[in-house]
């Protein structure tokens, strides 16, 4: 069964307030089976345009990734991201 991924592309507008999102989303997504593979760090745009920050969270399956994203507790915390950043979030199925 292929793994699932939540991929986020984010530009933070209020770094101080965004810290609360990071502090609160991490334990929720880990509890739901997520492993952070990429979370910020260096990146270089080599083609096209991109957000400033990138996040990849791996889950045991595509369904598990969707379930985590739609989890009511996570969605409550996501409101902080909505207020403090611009983002595009995808749920993607990996390859076997």
User: So what's the pLDDT on residue 70?
Assistant: 98
Between the CA atoms of 41, 65, 26 and 21, what dihedral angle is there, to the nearest 10 degrees? 80
List the chain domain ranges.
Answer: 4-93
- Comparing 3-12, 38-47, 68-77, the range with the smallest average pLDDT is 38-47
Range list of β-strands (E), the chain: 4-12, 35-39, 53-59, 85-93
CATH architecture of residue range(s) 4-93: 2-Layer Sandwich (3.30)
pLDDT score recorded for residue 96: 87
49-88 pLDDT, tens digit each: 899 999 999 999 999 999 999 999 999 999 999 999 999 9
The reply to whether the predicted model has a pTM over 0.85 is yes
pLDDT, residue 57, reads: 98
């Amino acid at each position: 069964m292929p793994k699932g991924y939540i991929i986020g592309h984010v530009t933070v507008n209020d770094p101080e307030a965004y810290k609360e999102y990071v502090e609160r989303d991490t334990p929720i997504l880990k509890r739901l089976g997520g492993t952070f593979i990429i979370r910020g760090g260096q990146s270089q745009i080599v083609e096209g345009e991109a957000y400033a920050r990138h996040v990849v969270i791996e889950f045991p399956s595509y369904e598990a990734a969707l379930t985590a994203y739609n989890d009511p507790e996570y969605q409550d915390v996501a409101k902080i991201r909505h207020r403090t950043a611009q983002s595009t979030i995808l749920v993607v199925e990996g390859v076997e």
